């Protein structure tokens, strides 16, 4: 039986590598959108049902507007780079939730939540675009799905013989990978490499959407000043350190402008 598990693990590992359009690298991900999105959408709706969603205010409208611009920019970039239809199963949604937690997240398929607690640090639409770009980048690059894949391999290894991943198990793995429960503000931190990747992709997308990429470093300076040493959950990774992150974003901002120029975007707000 052990042998069978091993064979399946190897099969999954080989057959299920997917190319990340943003880096061109192959990554372990054997969960197609069709398997993850329904779970994500259900979790998202459940979350909204259990939390206070703000609608109709200027802030709520700003979240929606910024999200739409970021999503449109992502679509343009993906189409221009040979990935038309990459977002076809996405069902974008942008919600503002009344909670003091300094956080925001994007679940697979474009399901976004901003907490009111992060708005003072965003200091307006461009700051929101920085965070939005970063969170959307995690989703576009399938970071959660990669973590699910890794988690599944671990489970397969742990539960020898139980080679069929049941729905219940899949949900469990999903929750482990995303950490979204009914509890507000709980989103597991991503790994250092995923954080850095999301920063870089997010910066490009925000620039293509017409937002000033120089603001990204400024936002993280405010985040650092606010956190007093402890970062909010999604950004919890003490790695990359705020210093590294700010240095990276400062270095990459001109590159993001160059990328935006390819799309005819040369002025930024
Ligand atoms: Zn992140």
| Segment 196-225, tens digit of pLDDT | 999 999 999 999 999 999 999 999 999 888
Q: In DSSP terms, which residues pair with 97 in a beta bridge? A: 53, 115
CA of 117 to the centre of ligand 1 (A): 17
For residue 9 the two structure tokens come to 């693990």
Q: Which of 50, 100, 125, 135 is catalytic?
A: 135
| Ligand 1 centroid – CA 2 distance (Å) | 36
Contacts of 174 (CB under 8 A, 6+ apart): 36, 39, 40, 43, 148
Which residue has 């599944």 as its token pair? 152
How sure is the predictor about 29, in pLDDT bands with cuts at 50, 70 and 90?
Answer: confident
d(CA 268, CA 257): 9
Residue 262's H or E segment, with its range, is none
d(CA 196, CA 138): 10
Rounded to whole angstroms, the Cα distance separating 183 from 55 reads 21
**Which is more confidently placed, 174 or 257?**
257
pLDDT score, position 236: 54
Nearest Cα to Cα of residue 114 among 63, 65, 180, 182: 63
CB 152 within 8 A of CB 237: no
Q: How do residues 68-81 score in pLDDT, each as one tens digit?
A: 999 999 999 999 99
Instruction: Kindly give, in sequence order, each residue whose CB lies less than 8 Å from that of residue 189, ignoring residues fewer than 6 positions away.
Output: 195, 233, 234, 235, 236, 237
* Annotated catalytic residue 100: no
Integer Cα distance of 143 and 145 in angstroms: 5
Residue 162 C-alpha to ligand 1 middle, in angstroms?
A: 33
Quick one: what percent of the chain has pLDDT higher than 70? 75
The pTM score is 0.84
> Cα Rg for the chain, rounded, in angstroms?
19
For residue 154, the CA-to-ligand 1 centroid distance in Å is 23
CB-based contact 71:110 (threshold 8 Å)? yes
**What's the gap in Å between 133 CA and the centre of ligand 1?**
10
Model confidence over 40-92: pLDDT tens digits? 898 899 899 999 999 999 999 999 999 999 999 999 999 999 999 999 999 99
Angle at 31 between CA 46 and CA 197, to 5 degrees: 85
């Amino acid at each position: 039986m052990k042998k069978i598990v091993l064979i399946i693990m190897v099969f999954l590992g080989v057959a299920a590598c997917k190319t990340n359009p943003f880096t061109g690298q192959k990554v372990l991900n054997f969960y197609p959108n069709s398997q993850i999105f329904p779970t994500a959408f259900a979790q998202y709706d459940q979350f909204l049902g259990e939390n206070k969603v703000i609608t109709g205010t200027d802030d709520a409208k700003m979240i929606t507007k910024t999200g739409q611009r970021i999503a449109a920019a992502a679509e343009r970039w993906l189409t221009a780079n040979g990935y038309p239809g990459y977002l076809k199963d996405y069902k974008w949604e942008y919600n503002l939730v009344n909670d003091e937690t300094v956080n925001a997240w994007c679940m697979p398929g474009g399901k976004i939540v901003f907490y009111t607690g992060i708005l003072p640090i965003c200091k307006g639409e461009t700051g929101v675009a920085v965070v939005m770009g970063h969170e959307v980048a995690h989703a576009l690059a399938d970071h959660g799905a990669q973590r699910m894949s890794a988690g599944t391999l671990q489970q397969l290894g742990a539960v020898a013989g139980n080679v069929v991943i049941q729905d219940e198990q899949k949900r469990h793995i999903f929750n482990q990978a995303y950490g979204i429960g009914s509890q507000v503000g709980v989103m597991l931190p991503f790994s250092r490499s995923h954080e850095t990747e999301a920063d870089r992709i997010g910066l490009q997308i925000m620039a293509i959407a017409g937002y000033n990429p120089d603001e990204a470093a400024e936002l993280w300076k405010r985040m650092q000043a606010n956190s007093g040493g402890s970062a909010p959950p999604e950004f919890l990774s003490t790695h990359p350190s705020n210093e590294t992150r700010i240095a990276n974003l400062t270095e990459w901002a001109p590159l993001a402008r160059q990328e935006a120029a390819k799309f005819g975007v040369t002025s930024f707000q």
